[in-house]
């Protein structure tokens, strides 16, 4: 509804100005009368021009921001502070201005009568489906503070694993990058000089030298073809993985990649068990929990299997039996789920599964660099050997000719 600016007198005759929201000007005057004011003038309010904050355009909301928000809100809520007041307090404490603006909007929605979960649902780029679904369950069960603590812990663990993966793959990335830079420098500046030197001597060049010179000539003359050959497959791959079939097949293939495949499976199982157990422990029904897990699991193959399990459970089948039939869940996961179903402690068993795979992921990450080192050393040794043969073999032939 539009806003109207007004000038009015109160009961003491003092001048009062302000804005009121109403469907028509007549309705605005009626609202002013109800406020105990005598309207002098009422007119449509001019729309304010809100220029975007440059800092907000470039600022992003990180998982660490959400973790900090959840921890602080849980602490305030546990201390007995009402939700709206706790949100208002966080508005003045959060360092991320974009998240501060979202929290302000959420608070206003809650003050307007919306539930906390529905208010969060309007901001999926900051609060994913797992987050607001667990908040919804916490509101329904009266355990919102526990849910917020659980969410913060879950996100902290996921963020910790992601950080360890980035740290473990940093060394291989640096080595591969250094190799590529060295190849470009050699092919562009070093090899052409040796080629001109060898061309002054009437000496048959060995095969490694001829191959190296041919590669150098091709790379300097047709560098744009090399650039296309490198970038085009990357573009095609990104386009392919954005399609439903491509993303599904890539996720399926990822589980079978040497070294990285077992790690991907362990990380996916940890995420599956942690989110599923947290949702189920929050009080959500198993079908709703599986439905959410199928949408937030980061592997499309596992996601489809979870969705199929959800559909089959509606027919009265056992969760553990369906997991075993899919052949995508390791025997340990299936067995723990079966024990949880039989004892009525499915959430506890899933938490143990998550803890087990967290340890497995930690172990795999620690050994990831060790596993990749032989491959990287082999590549470096092969490149150095090839360059040494290609550059020094002709020198020996030239020296022998000079001695004659």
CATH code (residue 329): 1.20.81.30
Check residue 24 and report its DSSP letter: S
Q: Are residues 387 and 209 in contact, defined by beta-carbon separation less than 8 angstroms?
A: no
Claim to verify: residue 179 and residue 318 sit in the same structural domain? yes
* 298 and 189 housed in the same domain: yes
Distance CA 343, CA 260 (A): 35
Coarse DSSP helix, strand, coil percentages of the chain, rounded to the nearest 5 percent? 75, 5, 20
Q: Given this model, what pLDDT does residue 244 score?
A: 87
State the DSSP string of 80-127.
Answer: T--HHHHHHHHHTT-S-HHHHHHHHHHHHHHHTT--HHHHHHT-TTTS
Query: Is the same domain home to 334 and 237?
Result: yes
Euclidean distance between the first and the last CA atom of the chain, given in angstroms as a whole number: 100
Q: How many domains does the chain divide into?
A: 3
* Edge-to-edge strands, sheet with 15-21: 15-21, 3-9, 38-44
Does residue 117 share a domain with residue 31?
no
Same-domain status, 178 and 294: yes
Q: Which ranges of the chain have pLDDT less than 70?
A: 1, 46-58, 201-203, 397-404
Q: Containing domain of residue 14, as a range?
A: 3-44
Q: Are residues 235 and 262 in the same domain?
A: yes
Dump pLDDT digits (tens) for 32-58.
Answer: 887 777 888 888 876 555 545 555 556
> Does residue 162 lie within any of the structural domains?
no
User: Would 253 be classed as within a structural domain?
Assistant: yes
Phi-psi region of 128 (alpha: psi -120 to 50; beta: other; left: phi over 0): beta
Q: How far apart are CA 86 and CA 107, in angstroms?
A: 9
Measuring CA to CA, which residue among 348, 347, 354, 319 is closest to residue 334? 319
Instruction: Report pLDDT for 399.
Output: 64
**Residue finishing a domain among 95, 127, 159:** 127
Which helix (H) or strand (E) covers residue 373, if one does?
A: helix 346-403
Which residue carries 């040796």 as its tokens? 194
Asked whether residue 63 falls in the same domain as residue 199, the answer is no
The CA R_g of the chain, rounded to the nearest whole Å, is 32
Q: How far apart are CA 29 and CA 382, in angstroms?
A: 86
How far is the C-alpha of 151 from the C-alpha of 399, rounded, in Å? 72
Q: Which of 127, 152, 177 corresponds to the end of one domain? A: 127
Helices 223-242, 207-221: inter-axial angle, 10-degree rounding: 80
Instruction: Classify residue 7: in a domain, yes or no.
Output: yes
Parallel, antiparallel or unpaired: strands 38-44 and 3-9 = antiparallel
Judged by DSSP in three states, 15 sits in: strand
Judge whether 199 and 384 are in contact, CB under 8 Å.
Answer: no
pLDDT at residue 338 in the model? 92
Residue 28 CA from chain centroid, whole number: 48
pLDDT at 53: 54
Residue 217: per-residue pLDDT: 86
Domain shared by 327 and 224, yes or no: yes
Select from 127, 146, 177 the last residue of a domain: 127
Regarding whether 85 and 200 lie in a shared domain, the answer is no
Residue 390 lies in a domain: yes
Cα angle: 29, vertex 31, 32; to 5 degrees: 65
Q: What is the pLDDT of residues 122-171, one digit of tens each?
A: 998 888 877 888 888 778 777 788 888 888 887 887 777 777 777 777 77
| 113-122 LR contacts (CB < 8 Å, sep 24+) | 115/139, 116/83, 116/144
Asked whether residue 103 falls in the same domain as residue 178, the answer is no
10 within a domain of the structure (yes/no): yes
pLDDT of residue 1: 63
Domain annotation covers residue 156: no
Q: Per the domain annotation, does 378 fall within a domain?
A: yes
Q: For residue 295, give the nearest of 133, 62, 157, 64 by alpha carbon.
A: 133
Q: Does 74 fall in a domain?
A: yes
Same domain, 262 and 359: yes
Both 40 and 61 in one domain: the answer is: no
Q: Name residue, tokens 């001695």.
A: 403
């Amino acid at each position: 509804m539009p806003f109207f600016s007004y000038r009015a007198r109160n009961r003491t005759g003092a001048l009062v100005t302000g804005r009121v929201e109403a469907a028509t000007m007549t309705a605005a005057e009626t609202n002013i009368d109800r406020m105990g004011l005598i309207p002098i003038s009422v007119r449509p309010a001019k729309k304010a021009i809100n220029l975007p904050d440059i800092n907000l355009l470039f600022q992003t909301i990180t998982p660490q921001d959400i973790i900090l928000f959840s921890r602080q809100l849980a602490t305030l809520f546990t201390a007995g502070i009402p939700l709206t007041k706790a949100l208002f307090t966080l508005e003045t404490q959060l360092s991320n201005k974009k998240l501060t603006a979202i929290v302000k909007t959420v608070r206003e929605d809650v003050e307007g009568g919306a539930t906390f979960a529905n208010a969060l649902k309007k901001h999926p780029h900051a609060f994913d489906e797992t987050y607001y679904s667990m908040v919804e369950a916490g509101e329904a069960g009266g355990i919102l503070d526990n849910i917020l603590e659980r969410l913060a812990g879950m996100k902290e663990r996921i963020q910790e694993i992601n950080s360890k993966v980035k740290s473990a793959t940093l060394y291989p990335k640096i080595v591969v990058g250094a190799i590529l830079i060295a190849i470009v420098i050699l092919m562009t500046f070093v090899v052409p000089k040796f080629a001109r030197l060898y061309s002054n001597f009437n000496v048959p060049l060995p095969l490694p030298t001829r191959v190296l010179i041919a590669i150098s000539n091709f790379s300097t003359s047709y560098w744009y073809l090399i650039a296309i050959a490198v970038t085009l497959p990357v573009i095609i791959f990104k386009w392919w993985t954005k399609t439903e079939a491509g993303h599904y097949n890539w996720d399926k293939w990822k589980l079978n990649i040497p070294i990285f495949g077992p790690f991907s499976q362990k990380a996916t199982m940890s995420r599956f068990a942690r989110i599923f157990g947290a949702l189920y422990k929050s009080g959500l029904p198993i079908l709703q929990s599986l439905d959410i897990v199928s949408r937030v699991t980061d592997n499309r193959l596992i996601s489809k299997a979870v969705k199929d399990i959800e559909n089959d459970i509606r027919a009265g089948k056992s969760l553990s039996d369906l997991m075993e039939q899919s052949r995508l869940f390791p025997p340990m996961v299936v067995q723990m789920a079966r024990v949880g179903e039989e004892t009525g402690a499915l959430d506890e068993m899933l938490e143990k599964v998550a803890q087990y795979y967290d340890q497995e992921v930690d172990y795999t990450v620690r050994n990831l660099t060790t596993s990749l080192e032989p491959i990287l050393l082999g590549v470096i040794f092969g490149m150095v050997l090839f360059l040494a043969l290609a550059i020094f073999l002709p020198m020996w032939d030239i020296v022998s000719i000079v001695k004659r």
